[in-house]
């Protein structure tokens, strides 16, 4: 099967609304020019829509012509690679999804294992990618999102630190023991000392679990300022947290 026919076959089996790049076409590695020309022809015939150089999507046909891809399809392109999870939604879009802020995000930030920064506007949905702190898998997304919220505890708009902590306490009640230990490990390996300290205090307050590994990872002479009540986080002094 030549390159053009192979691309015809692949596109015919794509779901409507699916985004794809040159790199998603297997033949691109050995026949880059042929792939570029074939997709260019398909874009001219409107079989695919070119979003920017090297990025296309297969349109869904509506009553009034080609329909724009759904936001979920756009986000999937940046968080999946051949059905393998490589990224997750973070930042203001995450805080809004989790009900932590009423502020509607103007863009969706995605942390990705691809370790590159990119900004793109796709039919009004602005996407910004940032390198993830560690390798992203389908099993650690919620753990990383939890830690991202904790990291930004005092920077999330229109909500108090106490309210955020209460929301996190509700979420962690559904986490399994193995997930708690994974969170502990990821915090130690990939997050800031302040995030480690907050997690240590949080686990002790809401799960009655004292994390010796986290405590050992903290500099005993450091202090981490967080404006939060002692009712929301207990034993702040032992975790080097200063709320004054």
Q: Has residue 67 got a pLDDT over 90? A: no
Residue 73 makes CB contacts below 8 A (sequence gap 6+) with 17, 18, 19, 57
**What pLDDT, on a 0 to 100 scale, did the predictor assign at position 244?**
62
Clarify whether residues 225 and 161 are in a common domain: yes
What CATH number is given to the structural domain containing 24?
1.10.10
Q: Has residue 116 got a pLDDT over 80? A: no
Tell me whether residue 89 is in a domain: yes
E runs forming strands in 87-238: 87-90, 108-112, 118-122, 125-131, 224-225
Tell me whether residue 32 is in a domain: yes
**What pLDDT, on a 0 to 100 scale, did the predictor assign at position 63?**
63
User: Cα–Cα distance between 178 and 183 in angstroms, integer?
Assistant: 9
Tell me the angle at which helices 177-190 and 193-207 cross, rounded to the nearest 10 degrees: 160
The region that residue 214 occupies, defined by phi over 0 for left and psi between -120 and 50 for alpha, beta otherwise, is alpha
Tell me whether residue 146 is in a domain: no
Percent of the chain with pLDDT over 90: 69
């Amino acid at each position: 099967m030549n390159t053009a026919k192979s691309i015809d076959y692949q596109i015919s089996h794509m779901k409507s609304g699916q985004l794809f790049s040159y790199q998603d076409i297997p033949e691109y590695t050995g026949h880059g020019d042929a792939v570029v020309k074939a997709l260019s022809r398909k874009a001219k015939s409107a079989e695919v829509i070119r979003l920017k150089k090297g990025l296309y999507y297969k349109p869904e046909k509506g009553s009034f012509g080609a329909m724009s891809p759904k936001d979920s399809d756009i986000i999937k392109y940046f968080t999946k690679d051949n059905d393998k999870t490589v990224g997750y939604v973070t930042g203001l879009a995450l805080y809004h999804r989790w009900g932590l802020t009423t502020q509607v995000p103007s863009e969706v930030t995605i942390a990705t294992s691809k370790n590159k920064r990119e900004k793109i506007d796709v039919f009004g949905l602005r996407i910004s990618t940032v390198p993830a702190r560690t390798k992203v898998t389908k099993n650690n997304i919620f753990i990383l999102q939890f830690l991202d919220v904790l990291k930004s505890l005092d920077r999330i708009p229109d909500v108090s630190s106490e309210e955020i902590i209460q929301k996190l306490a509700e979420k962690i009640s559904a986490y399994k023991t193995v997930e708690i230990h994974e969170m502990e490990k990821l915090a130690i390996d990939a997050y800031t000392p302040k995030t480690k300290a907050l997690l240590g205090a949080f686990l002790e307050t809401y799960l009655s679990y004292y994390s010796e590994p986290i405590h050992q990872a903290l500099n005993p002479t450091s202090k981490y300022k967080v404006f939060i009540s002692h009712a929301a986080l207990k034993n702040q002094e032992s975790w080097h947290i200063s709320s004054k």
